[in-house]
Amino acid sequence: MLPLAPAQDFKRIYDGDQGPNTGGMGAYSPLDWAPAGLVDEVIDRVAQPTIDEMAHRGTPFVGVLYVGLALTTRGLRVIEFNVRFGDPETQAVLARLKTPLGGVLMAAAKGGLDQVESLNWSPQSAVAVVLASEHYPDAPRTGDRVRGLKRAETIDGVQVLHAGTALKHGKVVSAGGRVLAVVGLGDDLTAARDRAYRGIAELSLKGGQFRRDIALKAAQGEVVAPAVASPLSPVTAASAATPAGA
């Protein structure tokens, strides 16, 4: 098993984690606030035992195993598994991956993942901000023109990744709830946020919506992993994290 870098996502549609849940309105990586050894703990306690059990049952798994987690005062808790890359967490994670992803996936497919050297990660931070359609997540409006793509992509350190888009008469239009993700890379979260939001400011979509607080608290040093309490201590609020593994 070869772990990817962890990321944190934002599920609620509105700033301050308000409103209904979505597929994800943004994410950032790395997690400077994460406890030391988090990735190793996830592998040892969650990911590897899952892979081992699947093999034991005669259904060995090869591919991407995404583990959605919560860090609580009672320790690490699993929220979900997916057998695919997480969206939009992976958009931030892969923006920092310098090792060619195709070679890693080929090695996994051929059973040679154990021969792959440690992955090479950029020390930069990445922030992904999702642009969603009007009325998302209930009844997303589609078919509206997306403008400003070329301007956004000319900004240094900015990538625009398409999700729910289509071509109509040669023009890009919305075709789903989460239309685009703008990913900014920077020397720290503040710089990465600045680039991501500069990029999204160049985009125009009728009724489009996006959160303005992706990675804000982390950039301000306000995110702290809950300390694991004794068995007799009450449970307090948890911070969500989503490491992915391949």
The pLDDT of 103-122, averaged and rounded, is 93
Please say if the pLDDT value at position 147 is more than 80. Answer: yes
Q: What is the pLDDT of residues 152-209, one digit of tens each?
A: 999 999 999 999 999 999 999 999 999 999 999 999 999 999 999 999 999 999 999 9
Rounded to whole angstroms, how far apart are CA atoms 77 and 45? 10
Please say if the pLDDT value at position 241 is more than 90. Answer: no
Rounded to whole angstroms, how far apart are CA atoms 224 and 222? 6
Q: Cα dihedral sign for 183, 184, 187, 188?
A: negative
Q: Cis omega (within 30 of 0) on the bond before 88?
A: yes
pLDDT value of residue 9: 95
Share of the chain above pLDDT 90, in %: 87
Please say if the pLDDT value at position 232 is more than 50. Answer: no
Q: What is the pLDDT of residues 115-132, one digit of tens each?
A: 998 899 999 999 999 999
- Integer Rg of the chain from CA: 19
pLDDT value of residue 234: 38
Q: How many residues does the chain have?
A: 246
pLDDT value of residue 242: 43
pTM above 0.85, yes or no: yes
Class of domain 8-245: alpha beta
pLDDT value of residue 226: 87
pLDDT value of residue 246: 39
Terminal CA-CA length for the chain: 6
Please say if the pLDDT value at position 225 is more than 70. Answer: yes
Q: What is the pLDDT of residues 12-48, one digit of tens each?
A: 999 999 999 999 999 999 999 999 999 999 999 999 9
pLDDT value of residue 229: 64
pLDDT value of residue 236: 33
